[in-house]
Amino acid sequence: MPILNSQNLKNIEVSIVVPVHNEEVNIDYLFERLESVLHSLKLNYEIICVDDGSKDNTLACLIKHHYQNSAIKVVSLSRNFGKEIALTAGIDYANGAAVVPIDADLQDPPELIRELVAKWREGYDVVYATRRSRQGESWLKRFTANSFYRVICRMSRVPIPRNTGDFRLLDRRVVEVIKQMPERTRFMKGLFAWVGFKQISIFYDRAPRYKGKTKWNYWRLWNFAVDGITSFSLVPLKIWSYMGVVLSLLAFFYAAFLIIRTLILGIVVPGYASLMVVTLFLGGIQLITLGIIGEYLGRVYEEVKQRPLYLVRNRYGFNLNHQGIEKGEFVNQEA
C-alpha cells in the first residue's frame, strides 16, 4: 500500500531509528508491526533504517519498503561499523521531535512505542524501556549481563540504568546534545544516561529474537563491556596507585622483618621461593597495569585520529540539502 506523505521535515513527530545488520528474515514483520502501531497513533513519523554493511538481502528489502512507504528511509553504510555507530548514524539523520532507537529483531516490542510516546507527552525527555525479564536468553548471558550492570554502576559516576538496552524515546533536546558528543567509542547506553534531563522508565518483558541469530558472541560482548567501563570510569586506572601504595607498605614491613631477623639470627640460607613469588607477583601486577593503561591510551589514540565515525554509501528518501552532506561525508544520493 503506497502511502504518499509529502512530509514537511519540521513536522515529523517521531523518528524510529533501526540499526540493521543481516536481518532480512525480520524486516517484513518489523515494518508490519511498526506501521500498525504508528498508524494507530496517528503520528507523523519516519523510520530511519541504517544498513550496517549487511551481507544478505537486507538492503534490497529495505529499499523495497522505502518505495512502498516513503516514511521509511534508508541509510546504507559503507561497511559494517557495529551497532553503536549504526545507531549514531541513524540519530544523525533523524528529524523527528522525538527519536526512538529500536532493534530490528523485534526483541523490543514496537507496541511499546505507544507508552513511550504517552510519557513523552507528559513532559519527560528520556523515556527508557527497562526489561523486566529476558526470554530466550541463556542463563550465562543473563548472569554476565547482570554482573556487567552491577560493575559499571559501581564504577561510573553516571547512573546507567540496569537492564535497559537502547530501546527508549529521546526528546529532540537530548538528541541534539548526543549529536554534539564527539567521542568515537560510543557506548550509547552510557551517553544516553550521561545527558541527564527528565528521565523515566517503563517496564516490559523482553521477547526472544523473532528470527535469525544474535550477532553478539561473548568476545564481542566482553569488548563492549570494556568499552563501556573505560568510557565511563577512571577507576581501573586509578586503582593501581592504591595497589602500589599497599604493596610498597607490605614490602617495607617485609624488609624490616628480614633485617631484624638477619640481625638476630645471622645470615640464613637464601630464600629462593619467596624471591620467586614476589618477583612473579609484581611482574604480573605490572603487566596488568600496563595493559589497562594501554586500553585507555588506545582509546585516546582513536579519539585523536579524528576519523569520521562512519561512511555513508547510499541514502534513500532524504532531501539533498540534508545536514549530512555539510558534514563532508561521501554520499551517493539516490531517490
Residues that bind ligand UDP (CB under 6 A): 19-21, 23, 52, 80, 82-83, 86, 103-105, 107, 209, 214-216
Smallest gap from residue 19 Cβ to Mg ion (A): 11
Q: Cα(257)–Cα(44) distance, rounded to whole angstroms?
A: 77
Alpha helices in 106-171 (DSSP H): 113-122, 139-155
How far apart are CB 89 and ligand UDP at their closest, in Å?
Answer: 10
Q: Cβ atoms within 10 A of the Cβ of 230, count?
A: 19
Residue 216 binds which entry of Mg ion, ligand UDP, none, CB below 5-8 Å type-dependent: ligand UDP
- Binding mask 192-211 toward Mg ion (x if CB under 5 A, else -) reads -----------------x--
Q: Considering CB distances under 5 to 8 angstroms, the limit depending on partner class, which of Mg ion, ligand UDP, none binds residue 82?
A: ligand UDP
Contact of residue 319 among Mg ion, ligand UDP, none (CB under 5-8 Å per partner type) = none
Of residues 56 and 122, the one with the C-beta less far from ligand UDP: 56
Which of ligand UDP, Mg ion, none does residue 324 bind to, with CB < 5 to 8 Å depending on kind? none
Strand partners, 19: 50
- The radius of gyration of the chain's CA atoms, rounded to the nearest angstrom, is 25
Of 166 and 171, which has the nearer Cβ to ligand UDP?
166
Give the shortest CB-140-to-ligand UDP separation in angstroms: 13
Pick one of Mg ion, ligand UDP, none as the site partner of residue 86 (Cβ within 5 to 8 A by kind).
Answer: ligand UDP
Give 82 or 228: the residue with its C-beta nearer to ligand UDP: 82
Element (H, E) at 290: helix 272-305
Question: Shortest Cβ distance from residue 212 to Mg ion (Å)?
Answer: 9
Return the residue matching grid coordinates 545488520.
Answer: 21
Identity of the residue, 52 or 105, whose beta carbon is nearer to Mg ion in the bound complex: 105
Contacts of 8 (CB under 8 A, 6+ apart): none
Minimal distance in Å, beta carbon 187 to Mg ion?
A: 17
Residue nearer to Mg ion on the CB measure, 58 or 107: 107
Q: Coil, strand or helix: which one is 46?
A: strand
- Residue 206 Cβ, how far from ligand UDP at the closest point, in Å? 9
* DSSP reduced 3-state for 45: strand
**Are residues 27 and 20 in contact, defined by beta-carbon separation less than 8 angstroms?**
yes
Total Cβ atoms within 10 A of residue 304 = 9
Nearer to ligand UDP, 44 or 80 (CB): 80
By CB atoms closer than 10 A (0-12, 13-18, 19+), residue 280 is exposed
* Residue 107 binding Mg ion, by CB under 5 A: yes
84 is a contact residue toward Mg ion (CB under 5 A): no
C-alpha cell at 254: 617485609
Provide, rounded to whole angstroms, the least separation between the CB of residue 109 and ligand UDP.
Answer: 13
Identify which of residues 149 and 318 has a Cβ nearer to Mg ion in the complex. Answer: 149
Nearest approach in angstroms of CB 141 to Mg ion is 11
Helices 272-305 and 235-265: angle between axes, nearest 10 degrees: 160
Nearest to ligand UDP of 66, 131 (CB atom) = 131
Place of cell 552491577: 150
Residue where the block lists cell 537530548: 174
How far is 174 from 3, CA to CA, in rounded Å?
30
DSSP-derived secondary structure letter, 209? P
144 binds, among Mg ion, ligand UDP, none (CB under 5 to 8 A by kind): none
Task: Name the residue with cell 629462593.
Answer: 272
The three-state secondary structure class of 136 is coil
Summarize as ranges the residues that interact with Mg ion (CB under 5 A): 105, 107, 209
